[in-house]
Amino acid sequence: MKITYNGHACFSITSDSYTILLDPYSPGSVPGYGSLDETANQVLCSHEHGDHNARDAIRITGSAKSPFEISTISTWHDDAQGKLRGPNTIHILKAEGLTVVHLGDLGCALQEAQLARIRHCDVLLIPVGGHYTIDATAAADIARQVGAKITIPMHYSGPGFGYDVIRPVSEFLRLFSDVEELDGPSIELPAQQPHSIVTLHAKYRTK
């Protein structure tokens, strides 16, 4: 399985030549990220905001049979049961005996029954920038509760990219000792040591 970080909260996950793309952003919607130029078999979106639901920006190809088993968990985009920003969907993807969990724009703590469904997954894709989502401290708490073999942060800012109101990934990384920062946008599974925090260089980051 191959996981590629396109930028913001957008990932491409490929197994057996079948690609699922999650949370594509609209062209120009996120500072510092170029327009997506991707082909996928399937697109999944955590919610209907323009920086996560740009289905039309992705070329859909073929009718190959999906190797993925997909399930979802309904959550909130804020800590007020959706009153501020609406609902959010967690996507759970299973293939090759591996489980990848994309938390979308999670803005609230998870209940025990929700945690039980994703605990000890192979890969956790988690927002860490705050303001629109959980912040670094809340993300670290959830990451420890889930106990994924690999945790990859997303939805953060940096020099010249991301929204000004969200925080840099460094605020999340400093809460852990087992951090590996990769130069490229992709990771092949299985590849890393268990329980590590891995950062990927976004494919479409322009700076």
Instruction: Summarize pLDDT for 75-84 with one digit per residue, the tens.
Output: 987 777 776 6
Range of the domain at 160: 2-199
Alpha carbon distance 11, 38 (integer Å)? 11
Find how far residue 137's CA is from the centre of its chain: 17
Alpha carbon distance 118, 97 (integer Å)? 14
List Cα–Cα distances, 35 to 29, 45, 151, in angstroms.
9, 17, 26
Q: Tell me whether residue 204 is in a domain.
A: no
Q: Tell me whether residue 143 is in a domain.
A: yes
Q: Tell me whether residue 75 is in a domain.
A: yes
Count of domains for the chain: 1
Q: Tell me whether residue 20 is in a domain.
A: yes
Predicted structure pTM score? 0.94
Q: Tell me whether residue 207 is in a domain.
A: no
Q: Tell me whether residue 29 is in a domain.
A: yes
CATH number at residue 164: 3.60.15.10
Instruction: Summarize pLDDT for 18-67 with one digit per residue, the tens.
Output: 999 999 999 999 999 999 999 999 999 999 887 899 999 999 997 789 99
Alpha carbon distance 66, 73 (integer Å)? 20
Tokens found for residue 178: 């087992």
